[in-house]
Amino acid sequence: MYNIHKLSSIARSFSSSSVAQQMVKPPLQVFGVEGRYATALYSAASKQKSLDAVEKDLLKFQGLLKTDKKLSEFIKDPSIKRQTKASAFQKIGSNFNPATANLLGLLAENGRLSNLNQIINSFKLIMSASRGEVLCEVTSAKPLDAESKGKLEAALKSFLKSGQNIQLTTKVDPSIIGGLVVSIGDKYVDMSVATKIKKYTEVINAAV
């Protein structure tokens, strides 16, 4: 079970500051093991005033995970000892900010490298929140034209608070048939035709 003592030790390992034991609260709470590592990293990088540098490091490394097959296989290979992976990531970390390097080394030592991509995604969410960005994903059955996308974005902005700005991404999924599926921040609205048909079908079947 992951406990507060381990979380504090992670924060201390990320920073040599004498105030390392006092965590910096992130603007967004993220959960799970990935969220705890990301939160500890945010706290340490905040104290070191290196948040932007760490974010760039992580984005670069996430890109490597997608393009470097050998690196990805090395991380996933359970037959490679933790000590070997830790040594390798100590060398890799020399190219990054100290906070980033500490994260990579700690994950290797703790056998948590398989969580790295999710940790990076959690850290990205925290950084987006710190900039007042609200992530929004809209799924439609067909690609939205520029006019429809503009009207949709304007409507979604009504959900935002002062100082926030929307980061809209769209994707196409023909299986929803029509309508939209919208995810904005922690809110989720399914207005798809497929879902409506399913509900109507369930009502009809229940009545038979």
The rounded distance, in Å, linking the Cα atoms of 37 and 30 is 10
- What pLDDT, on the 0 to 100 scale, is given for residue 180? 92
Cα–Cα distance list, 165 to 27, 48, 84, 156, 162 (Å): 15, 27, 44, 10, 9
Residue ranges matching CATH 3.40.30 in the chain: 132-207
Band (pLDDT 50/70/90 cuts) for residue 6 is: very low
- What pLDDT, on the 0 to 100 scale, is given for residue 54? 96
- Provide the terminal-to-terminal Cα distance of the chain, rounded to the nearest Å: 49
Angle, helix 98-109 to helix 32-47, in steps of 10 degrees: 150
- As a whole number, mean pLDDT of residues 142-163 equals 87
- The answer to whether the CB of 54 falls within 8 A of the CB of 99 is yes
Q: Tell whether the model's pLDDT for residue 160 goes beyond 90.
A: no
Rg of the chain in Å (alpha carbons)? 21
Task: Give Dmax (Cα) for the chain.
Answer: 70
Dump pLDDT digits (tens) for 84-143: 999 999 888 888 999 999 999 999 999 999 999 999 999 998 998 899 888 889 999 999
- CA torsion, ordered 149, 127, 121, 74, to nearest 10 deg: 140
Dump pLDDT digits (tens) for 17-76: 444 457 888 888 888 999 999 999 999 999 999 999 999 999 999 999 899 999 999 999
- The answer to whether the CB of 68 falls within 8 A of the CB of 18 is no
4-129 CATH, one of 3.30.110.30, 1.10.520.20, 3.30.413.10, 3.40.50.2300: 1.10.520.20
- What pLDDT, on the 0 to 100 scale, is given for residue 98? 93
Residue ranges matching CATH 1.10.520.20 in the chain: 4-129
**Residue 28 or 7, more confident:** 28
132-207: which CATH topology?
Glutaredoxin (3.40.30)
Q: Tell whether the model's pLDDT for residue 5 goes beyond 60.
A: no
Q: Tell whether the model's pLDDT for residue 1 goes beyond 80.
A: no
